[in-house]
């Protein structure tokens, strides 16, 4: 951690705890700031607040006092999930107080270069791939952000020889001012989180914060196959690396059906890449470009690509059973994610889907159902999904009780050479606490076949 004194003796409010709030409060206290933490959870039910109080940090719990900002704070560090419509945040902005997220603190204190990865889809896979490739090349990476430890906590421990690989959400990036990663990656942009941002344009601007402070000493890696993203990239002052999975290009990194190219020249064969799907090829290209810029050993990078089969619950290869390949895509809690998963396979698919009924249509999946040979549906949307499958011309449909039962039902109706894919297109909360719980139960059931 660099010696950072700008916050010494400054009054700082940390709004909202959870992991990011605790890490920010502890770091600010260490930097000599006068820290006050405000959290809605009552103090006697809030062990994190109790711990911070013992360290000498002022704690206000169980309520958000209307006069809270009258304390004379000079900076607000908010939990990323707190919207800007929140009364305290809105009041702070009206008063001209800077409002940041802990990612900004991470940048201000970090000795290590930062790689920032954002986008609507593919962040976690790209982040994990970069981390594993750097690690296999002995580059001493540290992983942070949504996927790992809170970024400012990692930055506080990082040394110059480390590289911080950070997954970043639009919520986090919206709260940045000086944040400037050495390498920034934008995987793609689709409509998302509009309940938080209001419009797609505001959402996109938040994502673009990842490169807004970059200069010619930095790199911006972006999806050239998305016209909107490519247009956005023109605003970046960084050196640009476009990636494309639509065929060989002379600039950046690209791929055709057989080969990955770096600046138009063959770099490696796709034959030994374990991770399936066009969307994952895009993630691989972004990760490879990053590791080439960091001069990673090519053989070490290829070794990762041969063995990496996906992030848990994201088109994760589980096992092969009697000639069938079984994949867990429990993270697919909406139609867009399931559509991406369906398009990743050329083999016939036995699709397991269903879950919480939010009343949403499945029509967005229709064009991607052509390769689905059978459907096993469960949960609140089970019957609706089967009706949809039949309307797509799928003759083999089964209604199951839950995801574990769905695995048992899928096995006998599948054929050798099929893919058995859990990609629910629905949230899990009708039967399971989280998509992780759902996915773990699916894996257990698959391994019991």
One digit per residue, pLDDT tens: the chain, 449 residues? 999 999 999 999 999 998 999 999 999 999 999 999 999 999 999 999 999 999 999 999 999 998 999 999 999 999 998 999 999 999 999 999 999 999 999 999 999 999 999 998 889 999 999 999 999 999 999 999 877 789 999 999 999 999 999 999 999 999 999 999 999 999 999 876 777 788 889 999 999 999 999 999 999 999 999 999 999 999 999 999 999 999 999 999 999 999 999 999 999 999 989 888 888 999 999 999 999 999 999 999 999 999 998 888 888 999 999 999 999 999 999 898 899 899 989 999 999 999 999 888 999 999 999 999 999 999 999 999 999 999 999 999 999 999 999 999 999 999 999 999 999 999 999 999 999 999 999 999 999 99
Annotated binding site for ATP: 119-125
Which tokens belong to 113? 């270069």
At 117, is the secondary structure helix, strand, or coil?
A: strand
At 156, is the secondary structure helix, strand, or coil?
A: helix
Annotated binding site: 119-125
At 299, is the secondary structure helix, strand, or coil?
A: helix
Distance CA 258, CA 436 (A): 34
List of residues 6+ apart from 259 with CB closer than 8 A: 248, 266, 267, 268, 269, 270
Domains of the chain: 11-100 (3.40.50.720), 103-307 (3.40.1190.10), 316-447 (3.90.190.20)
For residue 448, the number of C-alpha atoms closer than 13 Å in the C-beta half-sphere is 11
Q: Which CA distances in Å does 266 have to 214, 245, 259, 280?
A: 29, 14, 7, 19
Q: What are phi and psi of 171, to 5 degrees?
A: -60, -45
List of residues 6+ apart from 188 with CB closer than 8 A: 119, 120, 121, 122, 223, 226, 229, 282
- The pTM assigned to this predicted structure is 0.83
Distance CA 361, CA 12 (A): 46
């Amino acid at each position: 951690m660099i010696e950072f004194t700008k916050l010494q003796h400054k009054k700082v409010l940390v709004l909202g705890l959870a992991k990011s709030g605790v890490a920010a409060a502890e770091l600010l206290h260490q930097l000599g700031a006068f820290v006050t933490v405000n959290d809605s959870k009552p103090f006697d039910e809030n062990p994190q607040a109790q711990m911070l109080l013992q360290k000498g940090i002022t704690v206000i719990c169980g309520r958000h006092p209307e006069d809270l900002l009258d304390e004379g704070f000079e900076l607000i560090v908010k939990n990323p999930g707190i919207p800007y419509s929140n009364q305290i945040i809105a009041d702070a902005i009206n008063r001209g107080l800077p409002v940041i997220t802990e990612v900004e603190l991470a940048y201000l204190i970090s000795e290590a270069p930062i790689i920032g990865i954002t986008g609507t889809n593919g962040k976690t896979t790209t982040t994990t791939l970069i981390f594993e490739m750097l690690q296999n090349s002995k580059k001493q990476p540290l992983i942070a952000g949504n996927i790992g430890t809170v970024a400012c906590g990692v930055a506080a421990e990082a040394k110059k020889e480390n590289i911080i690989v950070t997954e970043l959400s639009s919520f986090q990036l919206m709260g940045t001012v000086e944040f400037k990663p050495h390498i920034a990656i934008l995987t793609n942009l689709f409509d998302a989180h509009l309940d938080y941002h209001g419009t797609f344009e505001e959402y996109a601007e938040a994502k673009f914060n990842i490169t807004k402070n970059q200069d010619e000493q930095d790199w911006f890696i972006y999806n050239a196959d998305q016209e909107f993203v490519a247009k956005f990239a023109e605003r970046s002052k960084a050196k640009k690396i476009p990636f494309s999975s639509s065929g060989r290009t002379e600039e950046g990194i690209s791929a055709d059906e057989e080969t990955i190219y770096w600046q138009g020249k063959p770099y490696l064969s796709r034959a030994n890449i374990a991770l399936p799907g066009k969307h994952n090829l895009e993630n691989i290209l972004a990760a490879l470009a990053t590791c080439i810029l960091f001069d990673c050993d090519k053989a070490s990078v290829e070794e990762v690509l041969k063995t990496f089969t996906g992030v848990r619950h994201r088109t994760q290869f589980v096992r092969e059973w009697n000639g069938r390949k079984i994949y867990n895509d429990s993270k697919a809690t909406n139609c867009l994610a399931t559509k991406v998963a369906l398009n990743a396979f050329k083999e016939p698919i036995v699709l397991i889907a269903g879950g919480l009924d939010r009343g949403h249509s499945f029509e967005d999946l229709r064009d991607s159902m052509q390769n689905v040979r059978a459907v096993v549906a469960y949960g609140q949307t089970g019957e609706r999904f089967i009706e949809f499958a039949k309307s797509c011309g799928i003759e083999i449909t089964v209604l199951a009780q839950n995801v574990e039962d769905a695995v048992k039902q899928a096995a006998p109706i599948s054929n050798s050479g099929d893919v058995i894919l859990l990609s629910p297109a629905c949230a899990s909360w009708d039967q399971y606490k989280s998509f992780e719980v759902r996915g773990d139960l699916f894996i257990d059931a698959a391994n019991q076949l």
